[in-house]
Structure formats: structure tokens, C-alpha cells
Structure 1
């Protein structure tokens, strides 16, 4: 079977590696020994460093948080790129922005390594079920080689361009909408709470109508939980600092293209407030507590 090395076993990387195991020979590395143990229990061969996970001339799938981690995994001490060598293929599922992906592709090409730019969207549960949206920018030959891996992970695979960076551009547009939708859902839930409405009922009702969105249906229940007895047990499915990073990519791209993005800029401020409040490692749905703290008494804005 095709050998695939998954680098990064976080919220997306672990279900990705698990999904690929069985269909492919999968090895993986993460800085966390606990995450490597979870991968091993799912049939993935754990490795002690990125280079040890790689088969020369094989496929490396990157599922790390940002550009700095991408570069560390590939070019740091015991990095994967040197072990991969000429003829190797890197599948970039992380969101790092178009310019960073193009620079990375050029650097890898100098060592005879091709890059398939394939950022993903959908969250951990959909990664484990092979139900992701994957947007791809890649030339025909490396894409053909990567397609069996991508098809195993995606229910929708959209080839949006022939160059690395094209996939990142589409993901940037995706994150603009996703980030604004989460912020809008948080405002809606906070206002409903001020009216004295039950947050769970609000989320369920709105999700069934024209105001519904994937983000409201997905994050809304966790926003409601933030006001319940189990507020401290909200599951972290997507860390808040991911949207601190991604909305930074969005607003930087808008500035470079001279496209005004007022809603994206406003949403970015909410995530930055969460970062300032020390909420980076919490679920991104927790931004609702910045607008209506759990301990505060609801006040009906229609009165007085």
C-alpha cells in the first residue's frame, strides 16, 4: 500500500491519520507523546520525529497549525524534507495563506519535491468520516498522485487552480465567511440571552430557518452550553487561536488586494479580544462569553 506520513496529530491531524490508516500504510509524528499514543491505538505507526515518519520519495501530509509549524516539520532539526528527497510529494492541508504556500512550493521544488496545496474545511468529526471539503491548487501530475489520499478524506474535492497558493486563496475566502458566521452567531445568542430566551431553544429554532448556517448549527450548541451547568466542560473542537490566525490571513489578503473587508475586520477584533483574554486554547465558540459573560444576569433590552 502507498506510504503516507502525517505530520501533526492535533484536532484535525489525528482523525485524518485514523481515516487514512487501513487504506494506506500510515506513519505519523506529533510533538505530543499522548497524541502519538492515540494514533498508535488507531493503527498508525508513531514516529519519534518528522524524518522518521517519512518514506523516501513518498507522501507527506501536513496537518499542523500555521506556517511556522509547517516549516519546522519540513526543514527543522530532523525535518521531513531531507528524508523525503527527490520525487517526494507534500500535501499541505494546513491554512497558511497563498503567498506562504507559493514560497514553500518554490523551496521544495529546489529539492525535487512537489507540493499539492489542499487546505481542508469541515472539522474533526468530518475528517474522521471522510466528509471534508478540500480545495486544491496543484499541477496535474502531483494532483493525480495525491488524489487517492484526498479522495479518502473528502466528500467534496474542488480543484480551483493549477498552482500552489490557489487552494489557499479559496480557503482564505472560506475562512472569511466561517469567521464572520461564528461572530454573528455569538452576537445572536448573546442578544437572545439578554431577552431572557433559552439559548438551546434559540439555536435549534434558528438553525431550522432562513437564519441558519453550518456555523450556527455546529457552534451554537456549545455557545448555549457556556451558560449552563457544564460550562467548564465545553469540548474543544476548533481552538480560538486558529481563527486569530486565519482572520489575520483574511484581512492581510484584503489589504494586499485593496478589497475592503469591514465585516471580516470586525469579526477579527472579537477573536483578538479572546486572545487578549487568554482564551486561545478554548473552543472558538467561547467568543460568545465576551459578549455576554456566563455569570452576568440577563437584562431585557426591550424594557426601559
Structure 2
């Protein structure tokens, strides 16, 4: 696929952002990339043969700008100041495609701020991890109040995904992502709990995972995470413990805002918060070590 008719900016060249920019470059967009680390920007731009910019303001001429950043607060800070004024002189009609795991309420407010200057925000968080970012097969949850902006966003994200789900208005993609990660966190926590008990009883860890995967206990965690990153102790899934904990907290706040009793979400939130307090900014799979007592 090629699409040279759009000038696309990309902000955030981390574990997910770097392979995503590679796929956008392969799609022949007029691509301009930016990261707070100028050496990272320069090195990747040289490899991909695209434009690396030194300042976010250098993205002003882009038709669309993709963000892949840690939080919605950071996304907002790239584009608007505390008074809600643009930090980058973006043209009216510019589309910002926030693919970060953002707080839906903050996304809606940022959208309001940007709309004052005619800039359109689409939330399009992803699921699938680093492996699917590399393959260009991410699942994307897209929220937008503007059909034209969403259509432009879909053109931009097409090389990154195998499926784009239009979830509704602005912020609904972020809500869906948080709830999805809460479910994923619950599965990881439950599988960890079972594995810890089974090992203490004398069961073989890998055989337990094999049986889960051939039985009703199968989940994404059991098929893609536990073998290499827990049983083989690689602990390198590429998804950091602070990030999944942040997403689960967002899901909990959504449950509370809906006035819902959510004991499973509450328990998962507590489990990950305790692991985060004990371990800090490690890969999320190391939470298993904390829960099992190995890292205390």
C-alpha cells in the first residue's frame, strides 16, 4: 500500500512507536517523525529515509499527526498550553490521531481545546503489543465526533492494523482500550495465581500453560505471555507495569463513574498497584514474581 498524498507526523518513538513508524514509512506517506530524544529521532529517520524533526513545532505543516505517548496528559502538553492555546501553529482541519492509552475524559477535554483552533482529535488506541506493531496487525479502537476526520485517520492507520473498530464518539476508543486491558490484566492475574498454587503443589509450570491453552483456561496471556516471559523468565513482553496499571485504573474510574459495583476490577487494580509499588517501572510480567513472593 502506498499513500504519498498525506503529510503525516508521528510523535513518540518508543517500543510501540518505532515499529509503527516503520510501517508508515513502508506505506510511502510523506512522514515526519519526532521524539523528545533527538538522537533517537535522527537515527530512525536516517534508517527509514524520512524526515526527522527537532521540535514538535516542525510538524505544523502535517495533514495528520499520530501520537503514541505514555499518558493523555503528555499528549495534551504536546499540542496545547495551560491556557488551551496551540503550542504548534497547526492549520485548521489538521487531524490528530492519538493512539496512546489515554484517559477518555481527558481526551474529550483535549478535543474541546483543539476544536477552538479548528484542529480535530481522533482517539485510536491499539491492542496487540510490540509483535503486532511490528507486523502491522494491531487492533484499533477508534472514537471520533467527526466522520471526515475519522476517514482521514483510517487512511493513516491502515498500514498499522488488521482491524479498525469505530466505537462511537470521541473518547470511546480510549474507554474501550482501558476496559480491554482490565480484562487482560484480570486474566494475567488469575493465571499467575493458578500457576503459583500449582507449582507449590508440584505441578510443572509449562505443562500447566499447555493445559490451559488446550482447555477453557486459554487466554491471550496463556498463549502469548506466560511461556516465554514467566515460565522461561524472560520478563520482556514490552508492556511496562506502570502502563498496564494506569490503564486498569482508568477502567476502574469508568466503572465508578457509571456507578457500578465492580469487585473484579477493584481486585485487579489493587493487585497491580501493589506490584507496581513493590517493583517500579519493570515489564508487567514481573508482577508474577511479586505475587509469588520471589521479588519481595
- The normalised TM-score by structure 2 is 0.89
* Aligned twin of 1:189: 195
CA–CA distance in structure 1, aligned partners of residues 175 and 204 of structure 2: 39
* RMSD between aligned residues: 2.2
Residue of structure 2 aligned with 1:103, choices 109, 115, 129: 109
* Aligned twin of 1:156: 163
Contact 2:275 2:291 in 1 (8 A): no
Residue of structure 2 aligned with 1:64, choices 61, 65, 69: 69
Task: Give CA-to-partner distance per residue, 1:11-33, whole Å, 9 cap, x none.
Answer: 21111111111311222112234
Aligned CA distance change for structure 1 residues 44 and 213 (closer, same or farther; 3 Å): farther
Contact 1:22 1:43 in 2 (8 A): no
Alignment of 1:238 with 2:242, yes or no, is: no
CA–CA distance in structure 2, aligned partners of residues 182 and 34 of structure 1: 36
Alignment of 1:47 with 2:48, yes or no, is: no
* Aligned twin of 1:253: 254
* Aligned twin of 1:31: 36
Unmatched runs of 5 consecutive residues or more in structure 1: 227-232, 297-304
How far off is 1:199 after superposition?
2.0
Task: Give CA-to-partner distance per residue, 1:3-52, whole Å, 9 cap, x none.
Answer: 21111111211111111113112221122345325522234432222222
Alignment of 1:147 with 2:164, yes or no, is: no
Aligned CA distance change for structure 1 residues 57 and 279 (closer, same or farther; 3 Å): closer
* Aligned twin of 1:136: 142
Contact 2:179 2:248 in 1 (8 A): no
Contact 1:186 1:285 in 2 (8 A): no
* Aligned twin of 1:292: 292
CA–CA distance in structure 1, aligned partners of residues 203 and 40 of structure 2: 40
Task: Give CA-to-partner distance per residue, 1:161-192, whole Å, 9 cap, x none.
Answer: 1x211212222221221121121122122122
Alignment of 1:205 with 2:205, yes or no, is: no
* Aligned twin of 2:278: 277
- The normalised TM-score by structure 1 is 0.87
Displaced runs of 4+ in structure 1, greater than 3 A? Answer: 293-296
* Aligned twin of 2:24: 20
Alignment of 1:75 with 2:80, yes or no, is: yes
Aligned CA distance change for structure 1 residues 27 and 192 (closer, same or farther; 3 Å): farther
* Aligned twin of 1:225: 232
Aligned CA distance change for structure 1 residues 57 and 269 (closer, same or farther; 3 Å): same
How far off is 1:293 after superposition?
3.5
